């Protein structure tokens, strides 16, 4: 039945008409931006831009770091989301607020905070130990890209996974424990298989968020070409030198990746970002 169908009063029609009008206006704005990007450049210009070695390097680095970040976000997000959904403990509200801090902080502040953290004594020790173990530092190196992306993406993964575990009936775990399962066994054999859609949703959301992360990466990792340049940094660098067509070409890659994530989530029946 239409929201403006028969039986509605004039006031209801005005109310729902206003809601629909606002929704249509926003959808048209989003579609307008996408159409403007797509119509600004040509396939030949896109091919020329993507042929640049710097952009190809940024492409590979972006997809690699985003994938690693998504895996780490799910790895940390599953236990944290499960604990927040299933356990009550003193200070839980404070912990919940802290977990949301990366979501509400300005991106540049996150990058600056990471940079300052690794200038402290503890941060320098961590970086020295990491360099001794892996032969590469953290700040202004590739690991800093992953860390900057992870700082933001993991918060979204945790929020998604907490909602997922909240929606699972805890009685299934209780039954498993009464049948002789330990809490660990109940988690691995009952909870996690039931939460697979939420885990995939969290991974896709973390991946998409990491791929588009710019502010923290710019501050903490820099935008050195052929070293720490990722696709969002490429857009910024190409704009700064006046190559608008190359910036649009890279932007369309990011748009295609985001739309691909959403379509994959819909095909799998997931609720990505919801």
**Structural domain includes residue 148:** yes
Same domain, 74 and 17: no
pLDDT of residue 2: 54
Would residue 122 count as lying in a domain? yes
- Pick from 151, 65, 148: nearest CA to 102: 151
* pLDDT given for residue 173 in this prediction: 82
Q: Based on the domain organization, do 109 and 141 belong to the same domain?
A: yes
Q: What is the pLDDT of residue 88?
A: 87
Q: Are residues 15 and 55 in the same domain?
A: no
Q: What pLDDT is attached to residue 28?
A: 94
Mark 24-37 as b/e (b = at least 16 C-beta within 10 Å): eeeeeeeeeeeeeb
Any residues with CB less than 8 A from the CB of 168 and at least 6 apart, and which? 191, 194, 195
Residues 30 and 55 in one domain: no
Q: Who's near 57: CB < 8 A, 6+ residues apart?
A: 225, 226, 229
The confidence score (pLDDT) of residue 170 equals: 83
Evaluate whether residue 274 is within a structural domain.
no
> What is the spatial distance between Cα 158 and Cα 83, in angstroms, rounded to a whole number?
10
Is position 53 within any domain? yes
How confident is the model at residue 5, as a pLDDT? 56
Decide: residue 235, CB within 10 A, 0-12 exposed, 13-18 middle, 19+ buried: buried
- Residue 33 within a domain: yes
> DSSP states of the chain as a string?
--TT-TT--HHHHHHHHHHHHHHHHHHHHHHHHHHHHHHHS-HHHHHHHHTSHHHHHHHHHHHHHHHHHHHHHHHHHHHHHHHHHH---TTHHHHHHHHHHHHHS-HHHHHHHHHHHTTSHHHHHHHHHHHHHHSS-STTSHHHHHHHHHHHHHHHHHHHHHHHHHHS-THHHHHHHHTT--HHHHIIIIIHHHTHHHHHHHHHHHHHHHHT--HHHHHHH---TTTT--HHHHHHHHHHTT-HHHHHHHHHHHHHHHHHHHHHHHHTT--TT-
Q: Is there a single domain that holds both residue 146 and residue 200?
A: yes
pLDDT tens across the length of the chain (274 residues): 555 555 567 878 888 889 999 999 999 998 898 888 778 777 887 788 788 898 899 999 999 999 999 999 999 999 999 999 888 889 899 999 999 999 999 989 999 999 999 999 898 999 999 898 888 889 999 999 999 999 999 999 999 999 999 988 888 888 888 888 888 888 888 888 888 888 998 999 999 999 999 999 999 999 888 899 999 999 999 888 888 888 888 888 888 888 888 888 777 765 555 5
Of residues 258, 192, 253, 264, the one with CA closest to residue 59 = 253
My answer on whether 32 and 63 are in the same domain is no
Q: Specify whether 65 is located in the same domain as 4.
A: no
pLDDT at 99: 92
Asked whether residue 102 falls in the same domain as residue 227, the answer is yes
Nearest of 157, 129, 159 to residue 143 by alpha carbon: 129
Say how many domains are in the chain.
2
Same domain as 129, residue 35:
no
pLDDT of the residue at 19: 92
Same domain as 134, residue 59: yes
Residue 18 and residue 60 share a domain:
no
pTM given for the model: 0.85
Q: Is residue 273 part of a domain?
A: no
Q: Residue 66: what pLDDT?
A: 95
Q: What pLDDT is attached to residue 271?
A: 57
* 260 lies in some domain: yes
* Cβ partners under 8 Å of residue 77, min gap 6: 154, 157, 158, 160, 161, 202, 206
**Can you give the CATH number for the domain in which 247 is found?**
1.10.3720.10
2 and 70 in a common domain: no
Residue 10 is part of which domain span? 1-40
Query: Is residue 244 in some structural domain?
Result: yes
Alpha carbon 92 to its chain centroid, in Å, reads: 24
């Amino acid at each position: 039945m239409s929201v403006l169908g028969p039986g509605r009063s004039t006031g209801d029609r005005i109310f729902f008409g206003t809601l629909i009008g606002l929704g249509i206006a926003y959808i048209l704005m989003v579609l307008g931006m996408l159409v403007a990007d797509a119509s600004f450049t040509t396939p030949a210009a896109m091919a020329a831009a993507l042929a640049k070695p710097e952009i190809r390097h940024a492409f590979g680095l972006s997809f690699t770091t985003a994938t690693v970040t998504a895996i780490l976000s799910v790895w940390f997000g599953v236990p944290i989301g499960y604990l927040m959904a299933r356990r009550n403990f003193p200070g839980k509200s404070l912990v919940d607020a802290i977990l949301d801090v990366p979501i509400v902080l300005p991106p540049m502040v996150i990058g600056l905070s990471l940079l300052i953290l690794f200038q402290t004594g503890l941060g320098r020790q961590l970086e020295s130990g990491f360099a001794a173990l892996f032969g590469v530092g953290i700040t202004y190196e590739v690991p800093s890209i992953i860390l900057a992306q992870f700082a933001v993406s993991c918060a979204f993964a945790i929020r998604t996974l907490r909602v997922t575990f909240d929606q699972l009936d805890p009685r299934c775990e209780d039954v498993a424990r009464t049948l002789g399962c330990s809490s660990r066994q109940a988690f691995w054999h009952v909870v996690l298989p039931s939460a697979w859609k939420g885990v995939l949703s969290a991974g896709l959301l973390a991946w998409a968020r990491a791929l588009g992360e710019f502010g923290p990466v710019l501050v903490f990792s820099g935008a050195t070409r052929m070293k720490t340049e990722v696709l969002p940094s490429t857009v910024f660098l190409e704009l700064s030198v006046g190559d608008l067509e190359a910036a649009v070409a890279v932007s369309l890659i990011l748009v295609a990746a985001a739309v691909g994530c959403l379509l994959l989530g819909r095909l799998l029946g997931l609720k990505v970002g919801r």
